[in-house]
Amino acid sequence: MGNKGTLEKLMIKAFDKPDYAEPHIGEFSAYVNPNEITLSYEMEYDSAQGSGTTNSRMNFKKLKPGDLSLIFFIDGTGANGNLIDVQKKIEEFQKITGYNGNIHRPNYLKVTWGKLQVKRCVLKSASIAYKLFKPDGIPLRAVITANFTDNSDDKTSQAIAQNQSPDLAHLHLVKAGDTLPSLCDRIYGDPNYYLEVARVNQIDNFRCLTTGSKLFFPPLEK
């Protein structure tokens, strides 16, 4: 039956370098996975309106950094089989996602969960709602609402957006049957760029591409 019953925990990994180079400096795992994840994004346009006209033409400008919203439920009653210290777990979250004095800014973060695409991001905002207390005031339940925003470099952002314009960079995962000329024809509209792409990717034999490898296709100047 494999691992179909395995419970994967949502994980937030913290890095102190903008290139997210390993090793990571810490991680936070959710004891109770969120039951809702919200991904939001926004397009930016320049509106162009001709003289004497009533309608405007919306010219695409850029895709703004996207946001990821998560709600974590922390239960310290032991009802879910894990007896945890709620306040300690909250402090762990704040340490991983918050300000890092060594780099004079908040940590760089990666959010992963199962087949959810790895999200390179930083914490934008967070709120904590305490729901239940012991008689002495110790919290037993809390809900963390966290909002993250994209922090991908230009190459990664373009690959995620899957831009198809030849004046943008492309990152392609090689599949069985792919050839360099056919990929150049698909991306640039001209198969004759294969030698340049082979040079950029340091490929000695362009006729033998490795399935599963990544190829970088540089942008063409307009």
Distance (Å) of CA 201 to CA 29, 61, 195:
37, 30, 10
Q: Which residues are CB-contacts of 166 (< 8 A; sequence separation ≥ 6)?
A: 187, 188, 189, 219, 220
Answer whether residue 178 is part of any domain.
yes
Co-location of 96 and 184 in the same domain: no
Co-location of 90 and 119 in the same domain: yes
**pLDDT tens per residue across span 161-189:** 444 455 555 677 888 888 999 988 888 88
Distance (Å) of CA 115 to CA 13, 118, 155, 178, 204:
16, 8, 22, 25, 34
Co-location of 107 and 203 in the same domain: no
Q: Is the pTM of this model over 0.75?
A: no
Co-location of 93 and 186 in the same domain: no
Residue that is last in its domain, among 152, 179, 200: 152
Task: Identify the pLDDT of residue 142.
Answer: 92
Task: Identify the pLDDT of residue 135.
Answer: 93
Co-location of 18 and 116 in the same domain: yes
Co-location of 117 and 145 in the same domain: yes
Beta strands in the chain (DSSP E): 11-15, 26-29, 37-40, 43-48, 57-63, 67-75, 99-100, 105-106, 108-113, 116-133, 139-150, 170-173, 214-217
Q: In angstroms, rounded to a whole number, what is the distance separating the alpha carbons of residues 216 and 159?
A: 10
Task: Identify the pLDDT of residue 7.
Answer: 53
Strand partners for 97: none
Number of Cβ within a 10 Å radius of residue 179? 15
Name the DSSP class of 179.
-
Residue that is last in its domain, among 152, 178, 200: 152
Q: In angstroms, rounded to a whole number, what is the distance separating the alpha carbons of residues 73 and 19?
A: 30
Co-location of 169 and 125 in the same domain: no
Q: pLDDT by residue for the chain (222 residues), tens digit each? A: 344 445 567 889 999 998 888 899 999 988 777 767 777 777 777 765 555 555 556 666 666 777 888 888 888 888 877 788 999 999 999 999 999 999 999 999 998 876 565 688 999 999 999 999 999 999 999 999 999 998 865 444 444 444 445 555 567 788 888 899 998 888 888 889 899 889 888 888 888 888 888 888 887 654
Answer whether residue 1 is part of any domain.
no
Q: Which residue has the tokens 């979250």?
A: 93
Task: Identify the pLDDT of residue 160.
Answer: 42
Task: Identify the pLDDT of residue 139.
Answer: 92
Answer whether residue 73 is part of any domain.
yes
Co-location of 94 and 35 in the same domain: yes
The CATH number covering residue 68 comes to 2.40.30
Paired sense of beta strands 99-100 and 170-173, if any = unpaired
**Which range marks the domain in which residue 147 is found?**
11-46+58-152
Co-location of 147 and 191 in the same domain: no
The CATH number covering residue 193 comes to 3.10.350.10
Co-location of 98 and 197 in the same domain: no
Tokens of 92: 């762990």
Answer whether residue 129 is part of any domain.
yes
Number of domains making up the chain: 2
